[in-house]
Amino acid sequence: MAKIGVFFGSSTSQTEYVAYDIRDMIDAQLGPDTVTIHNVGSSDLHEMLDYTDLILGIPTWDIGQLQVDWDIKWDELESLDLTGHKVAVFGMGDQYGYPDTYLDAAGMLAETVLALGGELVGYTPVDESYQFGHSLFTDGDSFMGLALDEDHQPKLTKERLDAWVEQVLTAFGLNEAATSTVHE
Ligand SMILES: Cc1cc2nc3c(=O)[nH]c(=O)nc-3n(C[C@H](O)[C@H](O)[C@H](O)COP(=O)(O)O)c2cc1C
């Protein structure tokens, strides 16, 4: 059984590409088949319960709404008990086109994970590289996960992902680089 489950929904493939990048980055570090990818549109979300460690990817659509596959499966999601699961969320959106609803769906997902008893990991700072008015994905000065914008900041995605994947693996207790440093 793979150690980490990545679940994504995606309407125009941008979240899907990032999900596969995350899979490739983690598998390169921890070995093939560490990650199993699930497209929410064709998955039973009860499969989330098979993994202690989860990474969830969601874009915001239609001005502050859930991506359609996540929307269809939302009742199923809300039926889960995520107690004992560590969950990292990444959101995809367009902060210039939709500055007052930037990543709102990711915020709804993060809040739901917490309501279901999950431990949310992978918070990141809202630094000066972001420019938006309002987002449900923020909690004080932090995003409740990783905030991406492939529409307007695609060149920032790789460095944001590199740092976040290391942070999330450490939170999962799976970061071999960090572990070996501690033992030196
Ligand atoms: C009609 C429309 C509405 C959108 N609404 C939002 C929004 O409210 N907030 C946001 O952050 N991004 C919004 N976006 C941007 C998408 O979230 C972004 O393009 C995302 O990368 C799409 O991911 P996907 O290809 O995985 O579906 C919208 C895009 C379109 C075309």
Q: What are phi and psi of 7, to 5 degrees?
A: -120, 130
**The two three-digit tokens of residue 99, written as one number:** 């500055």
Q: What are phi and psi of 5, to 5 degrees?
A: -105, 125
Q: How far is the CA of 180 from the centre of ligand 1 (A)?
A: 40
3-state SS, residue 37: strand
CA angle 105, 154, 141 (to 5 degrees): 50
| Residue 4: count of CB within 10 angstroms of its CB | 24
3-state SS, residue 124: strand
CA angle 181, 182, 184 (to 5 degrees): 65
Domain containing 101 — which CATH number?
3.40.50.360
Per the structure, the complete domain to which residue 152 belongs is given by 4-183
Ligand 1 atom nearest 132 alpha carbon: 11
Nearest to 76 by CA among 122, 36, 38, 107: 38
Q: How far is the CA of 61 from the centre of ligand 1 (A)?
A: 4
Overall pTM surpassing 0.85 (yes/no): yes
- Check pocket membership of 12 for ligand 1, CB cut-off 6 A: yes
Nearest to 78 by CA among 53, 121, 111: 111
- Check pocket membership of 94 for ligand 1, CB cut-off 6 A: yes
pLDDT (tens digit per residue) in 87-119: 999 999 999 999 999 999 999 999 999 999 999
* Tally of domains in the chain: 1
Q: How far is the CA of 84 from the centre of ligand 1 (A)?
A: 31
Return per-residue pLDDT of the chain as tens, 184 residues: 569 999 999 999 999 999 999 999 999 999 999 999 999 999 999 999 999 999 999 999 999 999 999 999 999 999 999 999 999 999 999 999 999 999 999 999 999 999 999 999 999 999 999 999 999 999 989 999 999 999 999 999 999 999 999 999 999 999 876 555 444 4
